[in-house]
Chains A and B, each alone.
Chain A
Amino acid sequence: MLSVKGLNTEYKTQKGPPVKAAQNVEFEAPKGVFFTLLGPSGCGKTTTLRSIAGLERPTSGAIEANGRVVYSSSQGVFVPPNKRNFGMVFQSYAIWPHMTVFSNASFPLEVRKNKLPKAQIREKVMKVLHAVGLDHLAERDATKLSGGQQQRLALARALVMEPEILLLDEPLSNLDAKLREKMRFELKRIQRELGLTTIYVTHDQGEALALSHEIAVMNEGRIVQIGSPRAIYERPANRFVADFIGTTNFVDGDVKGFDDQTKLWRMSTPIGDLMVSSDAPLTAGGKATLSIRPEDVELTEEAPPAGRLLNLANGVVDQKVFLGDIVDFQVRVGDVMLLSRAHPSLRTPIGDKINIRMDPMKCVALPAEPAAAAQAAA
């Protein structure tokens, strides 16, 4: 288990005030959980990871791993990284080019205070090399490995020390697309088998959704939402998360009121009056932004069946993009352009009218943000 409380990390700059790279970062990763820090570049995710590793010294906060305090500003504790026993895989793999595959992997055991006997080290290293599929290359020069093999060696080196926490800093970003896909499964399998508490940093939402038990989305040094992959995608808590994860339609509107029977909110928007859902309470008479995923904007040529509670609208097909397995439709509803992801069997020509229906549960209302409102005004 890893718990991070009120973590702040700053960088000194040559001129001007220090950069606040991580601000009040707080989360808990239970034992065996694959926990991902996801965000655009410069959002502070790597800084947070390096602070957990001990490679950066935070300015305040506390970090605790399996009940052991490794950093605490109030208690004045800072355990140096080489005493934390956290395994880490670096973005550049950091494979030592002057060593063989075996000696790269055995290094953590060699530098230990109470060193194991040689035979035992060999056994442990070969076991972990076998787990990542490199046991047949043990005596090869590390520089002779391909990118994917170097990546697996870096993982082996982090695993051989039987770490309390496994830290992964964008480990897949230097691989080509095909290999990345393959390593994703590999990584997931190994993590699930060993049940290691893992902290993973990436800017790739696909990776995050595919691998994680839990995701913390970060922006500008802060965590803006924590949740399961499905929750993050389907129930974004704010405009940033909705925009950063996947593609979405934003529709601004006015909140009319709450419907006690359906537990839904009524909103008036440029595409009509809609029933929407919200996780946070809205204020009647206030503003809100709707996020509707393109695959939840259903298009039909026939009139929709009656019975189900649905938001309905009419539009005109403005543009289509054929992508093979799907067709992206740009549909004009009044002054608003909605993006819809449809099955290729839908062949409505450009300029034709089309019916739109949207499940109220998939129309997620996001409370208006003061910052976002200001940005929109500017």
Chain B
Amino acid sequence: MTSVGGIANPRGKVGAFPVEPRFLGMGAVGAAIAWLALVPLGFLFWQSFMTPRVGGRPAQFTLGNYAGAYSSPDTLPLLANSLAFAAGASLLALAVGSALAWINERTNTPFKSLVYALSVVPLVIPGILFVVAWIMLGSPKIGLVNLAFQKAFDADGPLIDIYSLPGMIFVDGLHYSPIAFLLMTSAFRAMDPSLEEAAMMSGASIGGIARRVTFTLAWPAVAASFLILFVRSIESFETPALLGLPVGIEVFTSAIYDAIHRYPSDVGLASAYAMTLLAITSFGVFWQSRMSSRGGRYATVTGKGFRPRRMDIGRWRWAAGGFFLLYALLVIGLPFLVLLWSSLQKFYSAPSWAAAKNITPKAYYAVLAYPNVATAIWNSVFLALSGATIVMLLTAVACWIVHRTKTRGRWLLDGVASAPLALPGLVMGLAIMVCYLALGGGVYGTIWIMLIAYVTRFLPYGMRYNSTSMIQLHPELEESAAMSGASWSLTFGRVVLPLLKPGLVAGWIYIVIVSVRELSSSILLYSPGTETVSVVIWELWQNGQYVELSALGVMLIAALFVFVVAAQAVSRQFGVREV
């Protein structure tokens, strides 16, 4: 029998030793993924029990890092702040996102297309720009919202103080709400519409249907979404760093950053914090995957695919439409406008007729003329394109091994490649830094270490996209290629990859976008000459160059927007669902 790719047992007894190219290829991919995902974590774990190497003194075993981290009186507030921040932000995002999704999917509220368009906001507005924009809006001294409030009501104090725990929760919750919207929208769409129609025919009111049927049935999805958002919020770096640190509200991510950036930097302490954060996120990711794998209980026979009837909510629809508009204003209108305004100024000043006369595009020329901006753009483009390509190809092979072969321990490969999902970007950056500092080899301080970080970080996305399309691929398509006499590599290149193309393209686009926004890993790994665009924005903020930052930010948003629109047009052509 011809050994058909993966169908024959790779450990088959026929033949002496199976040195076929496919085993080499599979082995190399498996080893690469294991190296990327596991080795840095091992070093992080090791570092958390070691003293830092200072000068020629080698590292020694110590429990001092954990002792230092957990005996300090700052630790309890740190844990409390982290949990309060993450829980608050994810609950806010979930409440807003679910309400939007329900109104949008189930009622006849106007401005529907607007809400769907807004769901790309977290893709096109990187976290750091969103936070900066909200500082310009909500800072007690210069925030436009506060200035407008004081002028209108002749008040002394500010209306809102963004530099506070509620402020942090507000900004992050708002930024993650489109994700909650998308998660809940797909949950509502997966629901058989006749379940709600049956309640309606039974005489239930619209509120009664939402409460007793829609949301009760969506409960598993609500809980799973909460965990996803919670993990994202507790990993969030930009918001705590820019809003919390200046007023001394520390969470784990900002504490890790702080420990590394103080002098002398305390990598051991940072590692101890990182292990704790990792424990929390792993727990969240674990429960979330447990819940989604048990989600089958509520699966029912689906009907004829009728779109559910949009319920008439009467005059309430104008209130709901107003909610849409207010949301659009908060999530994109105000933040983008304030960035645009400040980018057109010479020095940052609040909008006024006097200031409007000074509008000038000079900041755009100035920021583009900075030598490190050109380098950063090049770096970002290089990292995004090569990172996305490497991830999609690596995971295509990995998914093939997981779904198509009977290799022992293939589930382990799936688990390992998906593990970085639980790794906060900052922890990933720290682990990779520790790993390649210890190993040497000259990677540290180059663009390659950042590429390694990006590839590792986005492996899970590649796995998810490729798995989805691999499962839809009938094995007989490969078997018939093998029966036609094609070798494994030829089958993979000529049959498998082309058939995976829609998933490959969609995943590639998604990874390019998230790579350009990436900050939390890069912030620990960059050195002069390897800055990315988001790192430059971070530096501009630290230098107080708000006008230049705004100009660069506006250009980045515009570029991402064009890319996302083009990508969605392309994806639609390939018949891919949206990311």
Complex Cα spacing A107 to B205, Å: 12
One digit per residue, 1 when the CB lies within 8 angstroms of any chain B CB and 0 when it does not, for chain A 129-162 equals: 0000000000000010001000000100110010
Instruction: Decide: A108 near B192, CB < 8 A? Known: A92-B301, A98-B216, A98-B217.
Output: no
Instruction: Decide: A143 near B300, CB < 8 A? Known: A86-B201, A98-B216, A157-B198.
Output: yes
Complex Cα spacing A298 to B111, Å: 67
Give A367 Cβ to nearest chain B Cβ, in Å. Answer: 35
Interface residues of A in 105-146 (CB under 8 A from B): 107-108, 111-112, 143
Beta-carbon contact of A111 and B301 below 8 Å: no
Beta-carbon contact of A97 and B202 below 8 Å: no
Beta-carbon contact of A91 and B303 below 8 Å: yes
Instruction: Decide: A82 near B217, CB < 8 A? Known: A97-B298, A97-B300.
Output: no
A83 within 8 A of B: yes
Instruction: Decide: A174 near B208, CB < 8 A? Known: A92-B192, A97-B217.
Output: no
Beta-carbon contact of B197 and A94 below 8 Å: yes
Q: Please name all residues of chain A whose beta carbon is closer than 8 Å to the beta carbon of B306 when the two chains form the complex.
A: 50
Instruction: Decide: A55 near B197, CB < 8 A? Known: A93-B301, A94-B303, A111-B208.
Output: yes
Pick from B217, B299, B303: contact of A96, CB under 8 Å? B217
Q: Please name all residues of chain B whose beta carbon is closer than 8 Å to the beta carbon of A85 when the two chains form the complex.
A: 203
Pick from A55, A82, A92, A94: contact of B203, CB under 8 Å? A82
Complex Cα spacing A84 to B202, Å: 9
One digit per residue, 1 when the CB lies within 8 angstroms of any chain A CB and 0 when it does not, for chain B 298-319 equals: 1111111010010010000000
Complex Cα spacing A88 to B306, Å: 16
A53 within 8 A of B: yes
Beta-carbon contact of B312 and A80 below 8 Å: yes
A95 within 8 A of B: yes
Q: Please name all residues of chain A whose beta carbon is closer than 8 Å to the beta carbon of B304 when the two chains form the complex.
A: 46, 91-92
Interface residues of B in 186-215 (CB under 8 A from A): 192, 194-195, 197-206, 208, 212-213
Give B208 Cβ to nearest chain A Cβ, in Å. Answer: 5
Give A63 Cβ to nearest chain B Cβ, in Å. Answer: 15
Nearest A residue to B299, CB-CB: A97
B297 within 8 A of A: yes
A81 within 8 A of B: yes
Q: Please name all residues of chain B whose beta carbon is closer than 8 Å to the beta carbon of A92 when the two chains form the complex.
A: 192, 194, 300-304
Interface residues of B in 395-409 (CB under 8 A from A): none
A87 within 8 A of B: yes
Beta-carbon contact of A53 and B201 below 8 Å: yes
Interface size on A, residues (CB 8 A): 35
Q: Please name all residues of chain A whose beta carbon is closer than 8 Å to the beta carbon of B299 when the two chains form the complex.
A: 97
Q: Please name all residues of chain B whose beta carbon is closer than 8 Å to the beta carbon of A56 when the two chains form the complex.
A: 309
Beta-carbon contact of A111 and B198 below 8 Å: no
Complex Cα spacing A46 to B301, Å: 18
Beta-carbon contact of B202 and A161 below 8 Å: yes
A90 within 8 A of B: yes
Nearest B residue to A92, CB-CB: B303
Q: Please name all residues of chain A whose beta carbon is closer than 8 Å to the beta carbon of B216 when the two chains form the complex.
A: 98
Give A41 Cβ to nearest chain B Cβ, in Å. Answer: 9
Complex Cα spacing A165 to B398, Å: 58
Beta-carbon contact of B309 and A94 below 8 Å: no
Complex Cα spacing A91 to B194, Å: 9
Nearest A residue to B202, CB-CB: A108
Interface centre among A81, A83, A85, A94 (most CB of B within 10 A): A94
Q: Please name all residues of chain A whose beta carbon is closer than 8 Å to the beta carbon of B300 when the two chains form the complex.
A: 92-95, 97, 143
Beta-carbon contact of A81 and B195 below 8 Å: no
Complex Cα spacing A218 to B194, Å: 23
Give A245 Cβ to nearest chain B Cβ, in Å. Answer: 23
Interface centre among B203, B299, B301, B304 (most CB of A within 10 A): B203
Instruction: Decide: A111 near B203, CB < 8 A? Known: A92-B302, A92-B303.
Output: yes
Q: Please name all residues of chain B whose beta carbon is closer than 8 Å to the beta carbon of A97 when the two chains form the complex.
A: 217, 297-300
Q: Please name all residues of chain B whose beta carbon is closer than 8 Å to the beta carbon of A161 when the two chains form the complex.
A: 202-203
One digit per residue, 1 when the CB lies within 8 angstroms of any chain B CB and 0 when it does not, for chain A 154-192 equals: 100110010000010000001000000000000000000
Q: Please name all residues of chain B whose beta carbon is closer than 8 Å to the beta carbon of A81 when the two chains form the complex.
A: 197, 200-201, 309
Give A343 Cβ to nearest chain B Cβ, in Å. Answer: 41
Interface centre among B200, B202, B219 (most CB of A within 10 A): B202
Complex Cα spacing A174 to B194, Å: 15
Interface residues of B in 159-209 (CB under 8 A from A): 192, 194-195, 197-206, 208
Instruction: Decide: A96 near B201, CB < 8 A? Known: A55-B309, A91-B303.
Output: no
Q: Please name all residues of chain B whose beta carbon is closer than 8 Å to the beta carbon of A53 when the two chains form the complex.
A: 197, 201
Q: Please name all residues of chain B whose beta carbon is closer than 8 Å to the beta carbon of A82 when the two chains form the complex.
A: 200-206
Q: Please name all residues of chain A whose beta carbon is closer than 8 Å to the beta carbon of B206 when the two chains form the complex.
A: 82
Complex Cα spacing A15 to B204, Å: 34
Complex Cα spacing A56 to B219, Å: 28
7 other contacts beyond A80-B200, A94-B198, A108-B202, with CB at 8 A cut-off?
A55-B197, A56-B309, A82-B200, A82-B205, A90-B303, A111-B208, A161-B203
7 A-B contacts (beta carbon < 8 Å): A55-B201, A80-B312, A94-B195, A94-B300, A97-B300, A107-B202, A174-B301
List 3 tightest A-B contacts by C-beta distance, closest first: A108-B202, A92-B303, A94-B194
